[in-house]
């Protein structure tokens, strides 16, 4: 059954064929304050829709015919009572006076923005990237899987690979659409996915989707009572009880001040004091969920296209949207809106065009994603923002300056959804490392590829790169040594120190180098086919000084023992299978050498007998 009304009254409607037909024959009604729907009704029954004067949307239910007429006669007395109550102008005007349309004061604060370099952003590797790079929402389920909402389906990431869930017209238990607008995990661990025509609930056990007839949901929140609140751009606000499947519907009535300020609902959520807020286009409404009435309308004039909000642990109520004032703080007691202004860098410099998301991590740090300035961290202690932007010369910087989404996973890492380059993540507790970044300036002596790292007896770090052997002292000073002209490659892939203090350097195709730290000069040992005592090959992958102080050099064409008296080599061809790169070489307590290969197992070599054993 239903209680009918003229514009402005409350209708309670269930999705039953006879009820919709009686409404149609009674003449139609403009607005519904709340609609109660049993969403567990079979999907073949009528969907949720609005009834406008003498027209039932989305379909005219002609086939119900005569039975509907009889039902309309039965419902008529009840509808007349509701119409009389709603039509009382005195009652409506008195009630409207109790709804506060609050005037708003505003002010502006300019906070400094400094550059941040203490975060290493990690992108997904090229082997496990999403095919869709535009990420609108991110969640993590109770099993630890990461879920990403995209323009082409729902992606699940297990840490290694992706699985995509898309719409299948032949499968009613598949995702109802392609474009995933909203993604949410409720407090019981269930996943809710909003596509164009339906809201979907995903069963993590069976892998099936259950559809709810709620169209075009763009944002989902949950209050302390467990109700899911669903924002739509044209159909107002829905409230769904996950336990019973009952759906409440809240719409704007221009003749009733206690309804929503607009049917274009962008955001909703419950604050720390239990008050429920609904963000529409240019207004913030305080909704009393027990009565379904709006108690307060607060104008947000700088957000005519809608906005989001976020309350931090200190009770600060942040509002974010597009420029010119993309980030503000609302004092809900004094109705004061304070705008935070980001200084522009010069007359044509980059500034924030939009704030898209906010998140407070487990340490209480507030993070803000923007369009224009990348990721911002709010430094409360110093009253400033720390900015993390893309730096083309730094591969660990954020890949682009347009960021849309924030999510904190179970380990405390923060995931950032970017505008067009897929998600990245970073740790909120930076690793205790000092970064030494490749710089293309000067002689180009350093390169981002590191082939070897070695600490000598004095505690000096030596780093091998394609262009040079680099010395890093404890103060962080870097000195690069090249073997030849600046354009000459060195390709260092192995380093060790002998008992005389010389550094020996194995290279990728450039022979064996001996480096004298006192003079800074190299001596090169190369393979000479005419000299049987020369190095057996110029590819020197591993070096070892044994317990007798003897230098061993593993190449692709045998093992070499260096004789310092003659500066020649004794070569041992370990096997008869052609060239063989060695990945590791160590000496055990018996003086036996063990060599690891890339494809021919583990080799055991006795320097005394020259015998080789392969495992």
Let me know: does 172 contact 159? Beta carbons within 8 Å: no
CATH architecture of the domain 452-614 equals 7 Propeller (2.130)
Residue 132 has a pLDDT of: 64
**Residue 43 pLDDT greater than 60, yes or no:** no
Weakest-pLDDT range from 28-32, 314-318, 496-500? 28-32
Residue 323 has a pLDDT of: 87
**pLDDT tens digits for 63-74?**
333 333 333 333
∠ CA 45-47-51, nearest 5°, is 120
Short-list 226, 224, 321, 228, CA closest to 266? 321
Residue 153 has a pLDDT of: 92
Confidence of residue 343 (pLDDT cuts 50, 70, 90): confident
Q: What is the mean pLDDT of residues 381-399?
A: 91
CA atoms within 13 A on the CB side of 95: 17
**pLDDT tens digits for 352-363?**
889 999 999 999
Mean pLDDT of the chain: 81
Torsion angles phi and psi, residue 17, rounded to 5:
-60, -45
∠ CA 378-436-450, nearest 5°, is 135
Residue 575 has a pLDDT of: 67
Residue 518 has a pLDDT of: 92
Residue 578 has a pLDDT of: 67
Residue 351 has a pLDDT of: 76
Question: What are the residues facing 100 on neighbouring strands?
Answer: 296
Report d(CA 586, CA 578) in Å as an integer: 22
**Residue 512 pLDDT greater than 60, yes or no:** yes
**Residue 252 pLDDT greater than 60, yes or no:** yes
**Residue 101 pLDDT greater than 70, yes or no:** no
Short-list 190, 175, 182, CA closest to 148? 182
**Residue 468 pLDDT greater than 60, yes or no:** yes
The residue extents of the domains of the chain are 17-87, 452-614
Report d(CA 83, CA 9) in Å as an integer: 8
Residue 38 has a pLDDT of: 43
SS3 sequence of 166-182: CCCCCCCCCCCCCCCCE
Residue 129 has a pLDDT of: 60
**Residue 442 pLDDT greater than 80, yes or no:** no
Let me know: does 321 contact 308? Beta carbons within 8 Å: yes
Let me know: does 392 contact 399? Beta carbons within 8 Å: no
CA atoms within 13 A on the CB side of 134: 7
DSSP reduced 3-state for 256: coil
Confidence of residue 437 (pLDDT cuts 50, 70, 90): low
**Residue 119 pLDDT greater than 70, yes or no:** yes
DSSP reduced 3-state for 104: coil
Short-list 218, 288, 240, CA closest to 260? 288
**Residue 344 pLDDT greater than 90, yes or no:** no
- List, in order, residues 6 or more apart from 177 with CB less than 8 Å away: 167, 195, 196, 197, 198
> β-strands 366-371, 492-497: how paired?
unpaired
The Cβ of residue 535 has, within 10 Å, a number of other Cβ atoms equal to 24
Report d(CA 50, CA 54) in Å as an integer: 11
Residue 18 has a pLDDT of: 35
Let me know: does 424 contact 122? Beta carbons within 8 Å: yes
Where does residue 570 rank: exposed (0-12), middle (13-18), buried (19+ CB within 10 A)? middle
**pLDDT tens digits for 284-342?**
999 999 999 999 999 998 899 999 999 999 999 999 999 888 999 999 988 889 999 88
> β-strands 492-497, 317-320: how paired?
unpaired
Residue 406 has a pLDDT of: 97
Confidence of residue 511 (pLDDT cuts 50, 70, 90): very high
Q: By percentage, how much of the chain surpasses pLDDT 70?
A: 77
Report DSSP letters for 210-251, one per residue: EEES-----EEEE-TT--EEEE-SSS-EEEE-TTT-EEEEE-
Q: What is the mean pLDDT of residues 390-402?
A: 90
Report d(CA 376, CA 116) in Å as an integer: 9
**Residue 391 pLDDT greater than 80, yes or no:** yes
Let me know: does 127 contact 157? Beta carbons within 8 Å: no
Let me know: does 164 contact 155? Beta carbons within 8 Å: yes
Where does residue 548 rank: exposed (0-12), middle (13-18), buried (19+ CB within 10 A)? exposed
- Buried b / exposed e along 572-589 (16+ C-beta atoms within 10 A): bebeeeeebebeebebee
Helices and strands, counts by H and E, the chain: 3, 50
Residue 55 has a pLDDT of: 30
DSSP reduced 3-state for 14: coil
- List, in order, residues 6 or more apart from 444 with CB less than 8 Å away: 467, 486
Confidence of residue 145 (pLDDT cuts 50, 70, 90): very high
**pLDDT tens digits for 531-558?**
999 999 999 999 999 999 999 999 999 9
Tokens of 569: 């080599």
Task: Report in angstroms the alpha-carbon separations of 53 from 21, 50, 70, 264.
Answer: 14, 10, 20, 21
Where does residue 137 rank: exposed (0-12), middle (13-18), buried (19+ CB within 10 A)? buried
Residue 123 has a pLDDT of: 87
């Amino acid at each position: 059954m239903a209680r009918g009304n003229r514009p402005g009254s409350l209708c309670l409607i269930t999705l039953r064929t006879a009820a919709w037909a009686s409404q149609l024959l009674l003449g139609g009604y403009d607005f519904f304050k709340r609609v109660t729907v049993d969403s567990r009704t079979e999907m073949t029954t009528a969907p949720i829709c609005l009834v406008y004067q003498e027209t039932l949307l989305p379909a005219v239910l002609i086939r119900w015919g005569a039975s509907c007429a009889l039902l309309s006669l039965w419902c008529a007395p009840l509808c007349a009572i509701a119409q009389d109550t709603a039509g009382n102008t005195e009652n409506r005007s008195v009630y409207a006076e109790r709804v506060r349309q609050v005037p708003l004061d505003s002010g502006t604060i300019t906070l400094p923005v400094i550059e941040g370099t203490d975060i290493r952003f990690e992108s997904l590797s090229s082997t496990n990237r999403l095919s869709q790079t535009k990420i609108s929402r991110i969640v993590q389920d109770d099993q630890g899987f990461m879920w990403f909402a995209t323009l082409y389906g729902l992606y699940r990431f297990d840490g290694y690979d992706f699985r995509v869930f898309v719409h299948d017209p032949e499968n009613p238990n598949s995702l109802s659409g392609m474009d995933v607008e909203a993604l949410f995990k409720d407090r019981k661990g269930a996943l809710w996915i909003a596509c164009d025509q339906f809201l979907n609930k995903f069963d993590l056990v069976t892998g099936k989707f259950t559809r709810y007839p709620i169209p075009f949901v763009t944002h989902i929140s949950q209050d302390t009572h467990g109700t899911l609140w669903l924002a739509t751009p044209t159909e107002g606000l829905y409230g769904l009880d996950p336990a019973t499947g009952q759906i409440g519907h809240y719409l704007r009535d221009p003749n009733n001040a206690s309804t929503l300020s607009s049917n274009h609902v962008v955001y909703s959520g419950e604050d720390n004091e239990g008050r429920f807020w609904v963000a529409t286009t240019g207004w913030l409404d305080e909704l009393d969920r027990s009565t379904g009435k709006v108690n307060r309308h607060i104008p947000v004039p700088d957000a005519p296209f809608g906005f989001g909000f976020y309350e931090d642990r200190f009770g600060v109520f942040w509002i974010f949207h597009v420029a010119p004032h993309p980030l503000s703080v609302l004092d809900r007691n004094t109705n004061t809106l304070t705008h935070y202004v980001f200084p522009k860098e010069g007359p044509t410099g980059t500034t924030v065009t939009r704030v898209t998301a906010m998140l407070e991590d487990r340490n209480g740090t507030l993070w803000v994603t923007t369009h224009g300035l990348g990721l911002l961290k709010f430094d409360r202690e110093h009253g400033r923002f720390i900015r993390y932007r893309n730096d083309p010369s730094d591969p660990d910087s954020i890949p682009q300056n347009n960021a849309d989404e924030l999510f904190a996973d179970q380990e405390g890492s923060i995931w950032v959804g970017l505008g067009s380059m897929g998600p990245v993540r970073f740790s909120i507790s930076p690793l205790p490392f000092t970064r030494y970044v490749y710089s293309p300036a000067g002689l180009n002596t350093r390169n981002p590829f590191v082939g070897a790292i070695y600490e000598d007896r004095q505690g000096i770090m030596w780093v091998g790169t394609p262009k040079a052997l680099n010395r890093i002292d404890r103060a962080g000073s870097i000195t690069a040594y090249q073997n030849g002209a600046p354009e000459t490659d060195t390709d260092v892939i192995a380093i060790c120190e002998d008992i005389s203090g010389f550094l020996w350097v194995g290279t990728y195709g450039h022979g064996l180098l001996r480096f004298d730290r006192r003079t800074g000069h190299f001596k090169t040992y190369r393979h000479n086919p005419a000299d049987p005592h020369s190095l057996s090959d110029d590819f020197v992958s591993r070096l070892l000084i044994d317990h007798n102080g003897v230098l061993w050099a593993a190449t692709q064409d045998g093992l070499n023992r260096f004789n310092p008296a003659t500066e020649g080599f004794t070569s041992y061809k370990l096997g008869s299978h052609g060239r063989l790169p060695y990945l590791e070489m160590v000496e055990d307590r018996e003086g036996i050498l063990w060599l690891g290969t890339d494809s021919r197992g583990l080799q055991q070599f006795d320097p005394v007998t020259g015998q080789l054993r392969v495992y």
